Structure 1
Amino acid sequence: MCAVLLTGHGGYEKLEYRTDVPVPQPKPGEVLIRVAASAVNNTDINTRIGWYSKAVGEGSNAGGAAGFAGADDADASWTGEALKFPRIQGADACGRIVAVGEGVDAGRIGERVIVRNLLRTYVGWKPWECWTFGSECDGGFAQFTVAPARETFAVNCDWSDAELAAIPCAWSTAENMLHRGKVGAETVLITGASGGVGSSAVQLAKLRGATVIALAGKSKTEEVLAIGADRVIDRDADLVKELGKGSVDVVLDLVGGPGWPQLLDVLKKGGRYVISGAIAGPLAQIDLRTLYLKDLTLYGATFQEDEVFENLIRYIEAGRIRPVVARTYPLSEIVQAQKDFLAKGHVGKLVLIPPSDNT
């Protein structure tokens, strides 16, 4: 089959498009999926460049092309453990089940499905533990992939394959942030609102009745308003000047970096801050007086309760959400797709389409 192999941490040269990769076979409890589409995510790039290593202190874009020379391979995955290479990345997969392993109902063959990107099967369903599809196991950057049947969800909708492939990683990350932060009909500030997770969070926050203030590049204002934001502020603006201190109930942060302290300044007393990304930089300085004198709650959001992904399936089938797909690419053009992703000139998701035959 055709697949993209990640051969190690580093630059684009570590991505090898191959046409001679063996088709995987489903083990007991697994299904074999013919992949129709797989989207590009920050985690794919962060893993390739070694950004998760604690030896790296810069924003992920700084190493997007060449990787980080100082990264330590021993802790350069999101779990903090060394990866095994070669690895087929791709945290997203939409496709059809074409075969099943022992113990799986053969009646599932033919289902159009998406795969939960944070897998619990392989760690015995333990709390706070999971594997990322395309990191600790092979993922969706291929013509075929295997996944646990229990975490492979049939979806009934009229969406394109590219739209469905936009859901698993970005939308579950956003839904998890809202779930963890217990967001309701209140004022929510979302950073990085034009990206895959940010644009998802805008829609999902509106679904909960929230008033959404979005941070995005000035050129993307109209597009972010179109997906539901009530107000868009330039990402480089002085937030305290624009919003005032104590004006926001919840912050959903995907950016981190030097602007981080202002996010706590604009939170109301008793406010909640939820983070699930730090593309502008992982290191930030906190004034602990702001934290305790304002009775703030800070949440890290990675592990997902089962209901998070199940909620997304319900939203899709009820017609309550719709992802934004900015562009699609042949799987063989993964390097260009990642370059465009890092350029941040789009709103929504970039999606890779594998060939229908072995070319």
Structure 2
Amino acid sequence: MKAVQVIGYGDVDQLQVVDVPVPTPKDDEVLVRVQACGINNTEIWMREGAYGTDQESGWRPEGVQFPRIPGSDITGEIVGVGNQVDEGVIGRRVVLFPFTSSGADGAEHIAPDMSFIGSEYDGGYAEYVVWPAELCYDMPLDSFVDSAVFSVSGLTAWHMNEQIQIRPGETVVVTGASGGVGSLNVQIAAHVFGANVIAIIGDLKDAPKLKALGASHVVSYRSKTLADEILAANGGPVDAVLDVVGDALFATSLDVLKNGGKFCISGSAGGQRTDLDFRTLYLKHITMYGSVLGTRAEFKAMLQAISSGQIKPVVDRTFPLEEARAAQTYFKQQGKVGKIVLVP
């Protein structure tokens, strides 16, 4: 089969198109013919060494073992089964839950043995992938591409919203709102939890797209009066911030939060380290959450919300599998709204 492997840490030249054997499913696994694979920051940061370039470079203590086929937002069709899997599942169109762990229900994402597809396992930048049968769910939409934009980004966004326990009528600020996680945060906060959403993006020409997704107000992070604009839009401090940017908007996020507000972060594309005056936290009684991925129950709830039309796919562009280098390069450019998807 054709596959794209990461052969080491570095730039996109570390992505190589190769011919490798089609994987064989273990007893409890299925063989999936990949039809679409969304691109995430996670596989780019893994390649670039943003998680580290030694023994902490992946989700497991031993680090990533190269070569590795990346890709975790995967949809496809089951075409083969292991010895312990009923052959009746062959032909199912599925979306893959993106990690394994021994964690109990509700704690799967924080188990110490959590292992991620595309990092600890070969992933979806390929024509075929193997995965545990119990972690393959029916696609929520008819389109493979549309269904491939939710797994990691959607689960992450859903869990972030669950963390802050936003209530109908409250106001949440969403940073990075034009990206994969951010655009889903807008939809989930607005349409599932009933919040008023202030979306932060770069170019305000995309404001109509964000309002169509559910944002009540759209502001630009390029504004020199960003905090004042957020406070004016809401008529005062906001209830919560859902952040995927990190340092670049951290001070503003804390500034606009009300006393007793909540800040949840699941990404740091705008800087992984920041300067924090602890007095801001305790004097404003701010609760902070670190968040990544989520639980199987949340994944199922998300798929149901997608099926019912509460959450809609936002696809910026697709690329052929062989153009993974170009796709990852494009992913890092500004001015996109939604997900980038590879199609074998």
The bucket for the TM-score relative to the shorter chain is over 0.9
CA contact (8 A) 1:256 1:278 kept: yes
1:241 to 228, 231, 241: 228
Q: What CA deviation, in whole Å up to 9, does each residue of 1:88-144 have, x standing for no partner?
A: 0001110001111122221111110000123326x7877512212111111111000
2:124 to 126, 130, 140: 140
Q: Distance in 2 between matches of 1:291 and 1:80?
A: 31
Q: Distance in 2 between matches of 1:329 and 1:243?
A: 36
Q: CA deviation at 1:78?
A: 4.2
- 1:202 is aligned to 186
- 2:342 aligned partner, one-letter code: L
CA RMSD after TM alignment: 1.7
Instruction: Tell me whether 1:173 sits opposite 2:156 in the alignment.
Output: yes
Q: Distance in 2 between matches of 1:170 and 1:155?
A: 16
- 1:57 is aligned to none
- 2:7 aligned partner, one-letter code: T
Q: CA deviation at 1:82?
A: 1.7
Instruction: Tell me whether 1:213 sits opposite 2:198 in the alignment.
Output: yes
> 1:236-275 residue pairs with structure 2 within 5 A?
236-237=222-223, 238-244=225-231, 247-275=237-265
> 1:1-359 residue pairs with structure 2 within 5 A?
1-18=1-18, 20-53=19-52, 72-79=53-60, 81-120=62-101, 127=108, 128-129=110-111, 130-158=114-142, 160-185=143-168, 186-207=170-191, 208-218=193-203, 219-237=205-223, 238-244=225-231, 247-354=237-344
What 5-or-longer segments of structure 1 have no aligned partner? Answer: 54-71, 355-359
Q: Distance in 2 between matches of 1:211 and 1:325?
A: 23
SS at match of 1:93: strand
Alignment length (residue pairs): 333
Distance 1:298 1:97, change over 3 A: same
Q: Distance in 2 between matches of 1:31 and 1:266?
A: 48
- 1:103 aligned partner, one-letter code: Q
Q: Distance in 1 between matches of 2:139 and 2:326?
A: 30
CA contact (8 A) 2:33 2:79 kept: yes
Q: Distance in 2 between matches of 1:88 and 1:227?
A: 33
CA contact (8 A) 2:2 2:20 kept: yes
- 1:66 is aligned to none
SS at match of 1:89: coil
Q: CA deviation at 1:329?
A: 0.8
SS at match of 2:332: helix
- 1:10 aligned partner, one-letter code: G
CA contact (8 A) 1:9 1:73 kept: no
CA contact (8 A) 2:157 2:188 kept: yes
CA contact (8 A) 2:260 2:286 kept: yes
CA contact (8 A) 1:118 1:303 kept: no
Q: What stretches of structure 1 move > 3 A for 4+ residues in a row?
A: 78-81, 123-127
CA contact (8 A) 1:176 1:301 kept: yes
CA contact (8 A) 1:52 1:80 kept: no
Q: Distance in 2 between matches of 1:103 and 1:91?
A: 24
Q: CA deviation at 1:250?
A: 0.9
Q: Distance in 2 between matches of 1:348 and 1:157?
A: 17
- 2:271 aligned partner, one-letter code: G
Please, which moves more after superposition, 238-247 or 335-344?
Answer: 238-247
| TM-score normalised by length of structure 1 | 0.89
| TM-score normalised by length of structure 2 | 0.92
Please, which moves more after superposition, 240-249 or 7-16?
Answer: 240-249
- 1:56 is aligned to none
Please, which moves more after superposition, 311-320 or 205-214?
Answer: 311-320
SS at match of 1:205: helix
Q: Distance in 1 between matches of 2:140 and 2:342?
A: 22
CA contact (8 A) 2:7 2:16 kept: yes
Q: Distance in 1 between matches of 2:176 and 2:254?
A: 16
What 5-or-longer segments of structure 2 have no aligned partner? Answer: none
Distance 1:163 1:278, change over 3 A: same
- 1:182 aligned partner, one-letter code: Q
Q: Distance in 2 between matches of 1:233 and 1:272?
A: 20
Distance 1:181 1:81, change over 3 A: farther
Please, which moves more after superposition, 243-252 or 173-182?
Answer: 243-252
- 1:244 aligned partner, one-letter code: L
Q: Distance in 2 between matches of 1:134 and 1:156?
A: 22
SS at match of 1:307: helix
SS at match of 1:244: helix
